[in-house]
Structure 1
Amino acid sequence: MDGSFVSLVFFVVVGVIALSVFFSFVPVMLWISALASGVKVGILTLVAMRLRRVVPARIVNPLIKGHKAGLDLNTNLLESHYLAGGNVDRVVDALVAAQRADIDLGFERAAAIDLAGRDVLQAVQMSVNPKVIETPVVAAVAMDGIEVRAKAKVTVRANIERLVGGAGEETIIARVGEGIVTTIGSSQRHKDVLENPDRISQTVLNKGLDAGTAFEILSIDIADVDVGKNIGAQLQTDQAEADKRIAQAKAEERRAMAVATEQEMKARVQEMKAKVVEAEAQVPLAMSEALRTGKLGVMDYYNLQNLQADTHMRKSFGHVDEKADAGIDDEQG
């Protein structure tokens, strides 16, 4: 009795484990949901998905959703997109949204857009509900030298045909900014831009800035226009300051050259004085040599000394007369 009971319990436990393994490997409930929704998916197909390491729910649930929306889909299409690394659920949602919005979008194009890294569902929604892109403040200088700051709002709609390989929002913003700079820079006066800001939007819109992008520009509206700095006056001031510094540098260079010339002249004068002193030092030696050799007599030497003393006395009288004349002129003044 006890042995049969143990055997019964053993078989029950083994059966429960086997059923658990079976239902965990074979998605029976998912197969039942598909049949109840009118989607024909074989149980062996679900098992094969398990073997191919595909989550059956990621395929069957979007398939049920697409079938209810009237889309012509099958497990092979969805499974191949899943194995390629795509988001099957998002692609099916995009197809359903495109069908409701009467947008021509097939599974192959939607899958290509999804694999390209773009949100295909957001692209479909943007095709129905355009998006507004706000550019940063763009600063440009008019011909009169006044800086003008402008900010624009660009209304774009996704272009399904150019989503694969088309440029993104950054390109739109860059091109609009370039158009704003060109329009402001070609204006004669900054007041013309302030009086007619729609001129910027019209000029930029006519340039076809959406070429090669994943969007279609619907409108460009100038959100804000402000007057900035007087760049022309600032440039002139900077140029004048630069010219002033150049002139000061040249004057300093000329002064340095003059000082150097003066120092050189002083050095030459000192050199000449040194030569004179050296020559004067040679005079007594020459006279003594002349006296010693008999070329100069004693009386000649005395006459020379008297001549020098007389000359010195006359110079002294001359200095006294000059000082006296200067004193008389001071008294008369």
Structure 2
Amino acid sequence: MASRPHGSRPRRTRPRRAAKLPPGSRHALAVLVMASVVVPLLGAARPAAVPAAAPAVLSPLRAATPAVLDERYAASRAGIRAAGSAAAGHGDRSRAAVLRAMADPARHFLSFDGRDGGRTVEVFGDLSGAGRIAVLVPGSDTSLDRYGRLRAGASALRRELGGGAAVIAWLGYRTPATVSPQALTPGLADEAAPRLRAFVAELTDARPGARVSLLCHSYGSVVCAGAAHGLRVADIVLYGSPGTGVDHAGRLRTGATVWAGRGDGDWMAEVPHARLRLPCLTVGFGADPVSKGFGARVFDAGPGGHSDYLRPGSVSLRNLARIVSGRTPSGRTPSGQTSSGERRDA
């Protein structure tokens, strides 16, 4: 060991300071840590998945004529009935009751898969003659067992749109639980985006003259963002959104008009709009779509909360219907500016 000069003081080693994360990133990381503890406990209490057979392979929807649609609806109804029988045999009376209601001949499904929480694509209105079509992409905690809220919202939007319009409730992916790490990461959205892109491409091929809009709620806006590039849609509407994974609407690489709205009572306003890259995953979805810097057209979503956007009589429902119809939404934006002005249609 080397000796130090006589009378000199020993050097003090200063402890290194930990690198500071941006405030939004710290919050997002804290939420992830809490969720990673809570969710396994919640998952342990959930019942086992209800078994269901694999759905029949359906040919692509080449045309949306009444005859073709009736054939597709009948095939999906057969799958729903089979899944209902399986649920009853499994002893899940609640799921069996939901599926019995879905099998009503008055309801119309373009596809159905009862496995892993369920996938459905339900049509509200006459798709064969609709000039305006809204595709609803739901967010977290949506499944066959919690399908009622999505169906109620789709029905309300169809009534608000009036004649000559159809609404499609696209539950085409496994949605995350609201309180879960999956709700903070893009994994499920990355899996869902190609399915949504394929569905919309099939729809626009089958109904080439219709005006199609994507309405994307909460985590569904992350799915829509991943599917946006190249879609032949007039509008992409993000509402109650945690972010999209990009920092500017231009990076969605779409020719559609990008809209964003958030209700005054939506708790999503308190969620940090940040993105934190960790060694094994990315947490958060970046810029707030209603912020000025994101570049979307902001519409008035009224005073409602996170689950109120499609509530009958609401400001948000009225403005969503106006956007789908190619009209400028009414009211005032959160910045206090009116949402008037010319709009571009795809």
- TM-score class, shorter-chain normalisation, is under 0.3
TM-score of the superposed pair, with normalisation by structure 2: 0.22
Larger Rg: 1
TM-score (norm 1): 0.23
